[in-house]
Amino acid sequence: MGSLHKISVSVFFVFLSLTASGGDPYRPSAGAGEAGMGYVCVMKNGFWSSFHNQALLADNTSFSFGFNYESRFNIPELGTRTLGITIPSGKASLGALYSHFGYIDFKRDMTGLACGIKLSNKINAGVQVDYFSERTTGEYSNHQALTFETGLLFKPSENIRLGIHLFNPVPNSIRKTYLPTTLRIGAGTDLSKILFTGVEAEMSSGNDLIIRTGFEYEAARNLWLRGGFSTNNNSFCFGFGYLTKIAKLDLGFTTHERLGVTSSISLIFKIH
Point out which residues bind another protein (CB under 8 A): 122-123, 152, 154, 156, 162, 164, 166, 169, 171-173, 178, 181-183, 185, 187, 201-209
Q: Which is nearer to another protein, 93 or 168 (CB)?
A: 168
Q: In angstroms, what is the minimal distance from the CB of 120 to another protein?
A: 8
Beta-carbon contacts of residue 265 (< 8 Å; ≥ 6 apart): 32, 68, 69, 249, 250, 251, 252
Beta-carbon contacts of residue 153 (< 8 Å; ≥ 6 apart): 43, 53, 55, 56, 58, 59, 123, 124, 125, 126, 161, 162, 163, 164
Q: In angstroms, what is the minimal distance from the CB of 93 to another protein?
A: 21
Alpha-carbon gap, residue 204 to 221, rounded angstroms = 38
Q: Which is nearer to another protein, 34 or 200 (CB)?
A: 200
Q: Which is nearer to another protein, 58 or 268 (CB)?
A: 58
Question: CA triplet 74, 140, 13: central angle to 5 degrees?
Answer: 35
Q: Which is nearer to another protein, 64 or 124 (CB)?
A: 124
Q: In angstroms, what is the minimal distance from the CB of 129 to another protein?
A: 19
Q: In angstroms, what is the minimal distance from the CB of 60 to another protein?
A: 22
Closest among 90, 15, 49 to 196, alpha carbons compared:
49
Q: In angstroms, what is the minimal distance from the CB of 209 to another protein?
A: 4
Q: Which is nearer to another protein, 41 or 268 (CB)?
A: 41
